[in-house]
Amino acid sequence: MTETTGTDSRPAPLVVLSGVNKHFGALHVLQDIDLEITRGEVVVLIGPSGSGKSTLCRTINRLETIDSGTITVDGRPLPAEGRELAKLRAEVGMVFQSFNLFAHKTVLENVVLAQVKVRGVARGEAEQTARELLERVGVSAQAEKYPAQLSGGQQQRVAIARALAMKPKVMLFDEPTSALDPEMVNEVLEVMRSLAAEGMTMVVVTHEMGFARSAANRVLFMADGRIVEQNTPEAFFTAPRSDRAKDFLSKILHH
């Protein structure tokens, strides 16, 4: 990273949303969202369903367009659909709730494909990177299989490897464990924890409060399209300030 902000000692934020608004028809799903994410920060988005947290996550690589406001990634505003946007998306990794591995490609090919086609990496080098990443997420033995032959947890770890292969500046996780059987949640969260520990900038939409507590630098609580409350996980979970957050936590922490 060559650019610096001169005398300012604080690092420049990597992702900045300011005054972001979005509607789905009559539903005002994002309302005046302001958010700055620093390099290396792990931000966890929690909140009731329909609160706009997934939509917010998806606006950062423009899978969802916004009606007003601005979003910048590494100082550059999100371009309109086209070559520039594709380039930016390659630098923003995304992991989906439903894995979305390419069903007609082997696990290895899933991790290789975009490196070769988007980044122009030589095939041999891309395969080596892919095998290293698959090793790192613990699915190297499955490299030649097709996604449907893997368990959900394995598929999601491959999806993480696929995103990492692009060497992204920031990783977006859109409810990465919500479609998993309970016994597979941890293997995915472990990979995410180690990523966080290595300093990856991450935005994570999740219902896993344990992960939020242990891995997040900051917890954002969203409801009705607004960021209602944000704090360190410790402060948020022990002493939520808003009634909305208290209500939400009471419902999910004590059944």
Partner 1 sequence: MGILFEDGNFALFRAGFLQTVGLSALSALLALLIGTLLAAFRVSPVPALRAFGTVWVNVFRNTPLTLLFFAVAFGLPRLDVHFSSFVFAVLALGLYTASFVCEVLRSGINTVPLGQAEAARSLGMNFGQTLGLIVLPQAARSVLGPMSSVFIALPRNSAVAGAFSVSELFSTQQTLTERGYNIFAIFFWLAAAYLFISTVVAVLFRLLENRLAVAR
Q: Which residues bind partner 1 (CB under 8 A)?
A: 61, 63, 81-83, 86-94, 96, 98, 100-104, 113-114, 117-119, 145-146, 148-149, 159, 162-163, 166
Closest CB to partner 1 among 204 and 223? Answer: 204
In the bound complex, what is the minimum distance in angstroms from residue 114's beta carbon to partner 1? 4
Beta-carbon contacts of residue 158 (< 8 Å; ≥ 6 apart) = 99, 101, 107, 110, 111, 134, 137, 139, 142, 147, 150
Please name the residue ranges forming H helices in 37-151.
53-59, 83-90, 107-117, 123-136
**Least Å from the CB of residue 118 to partner 1:** 4
Mapped onto helix, strand or coil, the DSSP state of residue 231 is strand
**Distance of closest approach, residue 72 Cβ to partner 1, in angstroms:** 18
Report the nearest approach of partner 1 to the CB of residue 95 (Å). Answer: 9
Question: Looking at beta carbons only, is 174 or 208 nearer to partner 1?
Answer: 174
| Closer of 1 and 148 to partner 1 (Cβ) | 148
Cβ–Cβ under 8 Å, residues 131 and 140: yes
Nearest distance, CB of residue 86 and partner 1, angstroms: 5
**Which residue type sits at 186?**
N
| Closer CB to partner 1, 87 or 246, in the complex | 87
Quick one: DSSP state of residue 184?
A: H
Q: Which is nearer to partner 1, 52 or 147 (CB)?
A: 147
What backbone torsions phi and psi does residue 170 show, to the nearest 5 degrees? -145, 145
AA letter at 253:
L
Least distance in angstroms from the C-beta of 142 to partner 1? 12
CA–CA–CA angle 177, 90, 98 (5° rounding): 25
Taking the least distance from each CB to partner 1, the nearer of 98 and 238 is: 98
SS3 158: helix
If one counts every other C-beta atom within 10 angstroms of the C-beta of residue 118, the result is: 13
Tokens standing for 55?
């939509």
